[in-house]
Amino acid sequence: MQTEERVVARPIRPPRLEELPTPVREEPRPEFSVLNLLGRVAVVVVGFGLALTGWMLAMSVFLVFIGFPLFFVGLAVMEVGLKGSR
């Protein structure tokens, strides 16, 4: 379908980098802590245990309605432990 109006294309001026300064955030580096690491590992292990238990329940056909939610909750707990303090 064609229109009767005439379309005029005008060039757009490209943005200059000097006009848009981006500040650099300088955040302090998080300190390494063994307790923080052990806590994160414990959360990952608990999440893995929940996911594994949920998977085993899901493989038994009768308990699939309990197993799949438990499996996904376990995956979510593991993800929280892996993300840590980021």
pLDDT tens digit string along 36-84? 888 889 999 999 999 999 999 999 888 889 999 999 999 999 998 887 6
pLDDT at position 84: 62
Q: 63: burial class by Cβ within 10 Å (0-12, 13-18, 19+)?
A: middle
Q: Is the dihedral of CA 70, 75, 78, 83 positive or negative?
A: negative
What are the extents of the domains in the chain? Answer: 47-86
DSSP state of 15: P
Inform me whether the pLDDT recorded for 18 exceeds 90: no
| CA dist., res. 35 & res. 55, Å (int) | 30
